Chains A and B, each alone.
Chain A
Amino acid sequence: MQRPAIEPTKRWQKSPRRFGSYLLMTIIALFSLFPIVFMLVTALKADEGQILREMSTFAAFLPTGELSLQNFRDVFERVPFAQYLINSGLIALTIVLFGLVVNSLIAYALARMQFRGQKLLLAIIVALIIIPFQAVAVPLLLIVNQLPWFDGRMTWLDSYHVQIIPFIADAFSIFLFYQFFLNIPKDIEEAALVDGASRFRMYAQIIVPLSRPVFATVAILQFLTHWGDFLWPLMVVRNPAVRPLTVGMQAFFGQMPRQWGDIMAFATMVTLPVLIIFLLFQKWFVQSVASSGVKG
């Protein structure tokens, strides 16, 4: 016997609570989207006066008035945006790539190898997660200022590496990898051990392929964190050749009145790469966040 189809209206009537929860979710979604809509719409408005007039009204979210790409052109005229974009991308990607290798190897050692002080090391790494970067920023600045580099300079300031190396090893990433590796059954590795495989080979050929979700999680979280890094580059970088987007944007926060159109055009161009990456890896992102229990 064929079950009669339930009409959508009846379904709503059947569970008015569902309607309520959808309404609530829609409102929350809109609330989260409003700032992005505001940013995109403001970036397109050519008239600075109009932006200011509409700032605290609903019209700020609507593409009204004269729309153009003038604000984007202004950004390229006022600052070397492309250079900043390359810098930010290079720094964030390098941290992610090196970080994946270094942190997963540390975590693998902690999860699988027996050595003296293993538990203490793990406890220290977990403890490091709770120390905010701001607390160590100044001592770190004083240290990197005294470190030599291959070109003979006696400081790391004003370079790419000063923005990359301190962030490659990351306690939280190690912890995520460690948690994930613990849940992988040891049997496969034991079989490989019997066949004479080395520890590194087991890591590279067994653990890594089985751990894609956690690699994706760490990569995405690290990329987002370091794409938005501000405090550290602010402290260590003066040369525009190695200046990232976040610090470069400060050129727009100077004298009054502020050009909000330009600021929003800049912000749009900073946000777009992250949005694109998110959309491309959306499946991985959702999966990995769910599997690792990470809350944003």
Chain B
Amino acid sequence: MKRPWIRSFSLLVCLILAGCGATATPTTLPITSTIDANAGAASGTVTLWFHSGQGAERDALNATLQAFAAKNSAIKIEAIELPEGAYNDQVNAAALAGELPCLLDFDGPFVYNYAWSGYLQPLDSLIAAEVKADFLPSIIQQGTYNGKLYSLGQFDSGLGFYANKALLEKAGVRIPTLAQPWTRAELDQALSKLKANGLQYPLELKMNYGRGEWFSYGFSPFLQSFGGDLIDRSNYQKASGTLNGAASVEAMQWFQSLFTNGYVNPKPAGDTDFAEGKAALSWVGHWAYPDYAKALGADLLVLPAADLGKGAKTGMGSWNWGITSKCANPAAAAEVLSFIVSPEEVLRMSDANGAVPARTSAIAKSTLFGDGAPLNIYVQQLTNGVAVPRPITPAYPVITSAFAEAVDNIVAGADVQTELDKAAQKIDADIEDNQGYPVK
């Protein structure tokens, strides 16, 4: 009797089982680079994960890994690029399964949660003191948790105002300096003058980025400049009283007024209002510089953060690298990490993505960030205490999501005190659930 479907199905089963067996062997694709190198103290294989950032960033990292291969043959790198949009989730899932690689990169403020969770090992004994001394203080600050250094980055970020010189001059607005930044009154007045001069929305706050890390990174400096903060930094145990305290409420009321006064478009259609001359000011990070420089040319000004009452404050922090606690070969991983953060490679990356080089020796050689260079102001903000790290606590993921939600609602017109109360409660509940994140 004919049973062709049974035969076909059996064949299919065999084929699929064969297929599944075959895939268990690691496959090398163009973006999974396996690198053999020539000489070095440590040896062995180092597994490495990195996020797929901008194309130029990815190319720079691949070039770095190839340069490492050319210099060191004893260490083999197995690199896997993960999609950036899902990077943190994939890292968390891998950590849960105990399958983290030796070396990986992650966004700045996640380091505290990873370190507290025991995913990372301290780098203090693996990185030479003179190497550490060459890094920007902000990078060391970002990577330090509970007195130990857990991560090092190739670059930091810069945040400030970009301004259209012609439009400021036309409205008679003073050009601020790092020594004399705008005061709150001056900034309000400038916005009012610019609006009176015919600009529908004189300030751009990149609201098109949407709710996410940008809201915390970009807008928490306003809180801090008013004297408020996301959490009480004396012991990182409570947000109530700080995030919903008088200074923070005043800051967010001022922030809300930017929208109610019509200075900022809450729902911009695109990313180009400033570049097209529809806005005179843009509050955004270093990454906007290439497009703005192209669009405005000599009219582009890079200005410091304003002093809204308690000193000018700005953000800092970016992607950085850490070695995982389960890494079987930390010496080899440290050698790879040292190479990745060497001045030449830092400069290679900074040239590719336009971010602030993490090392002073690299900054000196940078055409964008060196003395007198157009973006040197970011270096000064990072070294002169204007830049504030995001809260150094494992609760950061909850802090950032609660604050971003509050910002979203405040922009939509919700009551500031109610929203900040809600956010503070959410953060406090998380800290309480984790018994205050005791240091293990």
Contact = CB atoms under 8 A, between A and B. Distances in A.
Most interface-central of B13, B54, B55, B82 (chain A CB within 10 A): B82
B104 to A, nearest CB: 11
Contacts of B269: 52-57
A151 B29 contact: no
Contacts of A249: 83, 85
B30 A250 contact: no
B93 A160 contact: no
Given A161-B20, A234-B89, A251-B83, A240 B49 contact: no
B31 A240 contact: yes
A155 interface: yes
A269 to B, nearest CB: 16
B81 A240 contact: yes
B96 A138 contact: yes
A235 B93 contact: yes
Nearest to A161: B20
Given A97-B12, A141-B96, A204-B6, A253 B84 contact: yes
Interface in A135-167: 138, 141-142, 145, 149-151, 153, 155, 157-161, 164
A135 to B, nearest CB: 15
Contacts of B90: 234-235, 238
Most interface-central of B82, B83, B208 (chain A CB within 10 A): B83
A251 B93 contact: no
B195 interface: no
Given A57-B269, A161-B20, A255-B54, A145 B86 contact: no
A242 B206 contact: no
Given A157-B97, A254-B85, A242 B23 contact: yes
A238 B30 contact: no
B272 A247 contact: no
Interface in A208-255: 234-236, 238-242, 247-255
A173 B99 CA distance: 33
B294 interface: no
Contact of B209 (A57, A101, A149, A256): A256
Interface in A83-130: 83, 90, 94, 97-98, 101
Interface in B114-156: none
B24 interface: yes
A105 to B, nearest CB: 12
A273 B32 CA distance: 27
Interface in B59-109: 80-87, 89-90, 93-94, 96-99
A16 interface: no
Given A80-B29, A239-B26, A239-B80, A254 B99 contact: no
B255 interface: no
Contacts of B87: 250, 254
A180 B231 CA distance: 59
Contacts of B272: 49, 52-53
Contact of B85 (A94, A151, A251): A251
Interface string A34-61: 0000000000000001011111110000
B83 A149 contact: no
Contacts of A98: 13
A98 B99 CA distance: 29
B53 to A, nearest CB: 6
B359 interface: no
Nearest to B272: A49
B351 to A, nearest CB: 17
A240 B32 contact: yes
A250 B55 contact: no
Nearest to A253: B85
Contacts of B372: none
A260 B95 CA distance: 31
A296 interface: no
Most interface-central of A78, A150, A158, A240 (chain B CB within 10 A): A240
Contacts of B25: 151
A252 B16 CA distance: 31
A257 interface: yes
B23 A256 contact: no
B86 A250 contact: yes
Interface string B1-13: 0010110010011
B21 interface: yes
A150 B27 CA distance: 17
Contacts of A97: 9, 12
B271 interface: yes
B27 A241 contact: yes
A80 B23 contact: no
Given A254-B85, A256-B287, A159 B24 contact: yes
Contacts of B16: 94, 164
B358 to A, nearest CB: 18
A178 B223 CA distance: 60
A235 B19 CA distance: 21
A4 to B, nearest CB: 56
A57 B49 CA distance: 40
B52 interface: yes
B214 interface: yes
A159 B287 CA distance: 37
B271 A52 contact: yes
Given A234-B93, A240-B32, A247-B83, 20 more contacts: A52-B208, A80-B31, A145-B97, A151-B21, A153-B24, A157-B97, A158-B24, A161-B20, A238-B94, A239-B32, A240-B29, A240-B31, A241-B26, A250-B86, A251-B85, A254-B51, A254-B84, A254-B87, A255-B84, A257-B208
Interface of A: 49, 51-57, 78, 80, 83, 90, 94, 97-98, 101, 138, 141-142, 145, 149-151, 153, 155, 157-161, 164, 204, 234-236, 238-242, 247-257
10 contacts: A53-B272, A90-B19, A142-B96, A157-B99, A238-B94, A239-B80, A250-B87, A252-B83, A253-B84, A254-B83
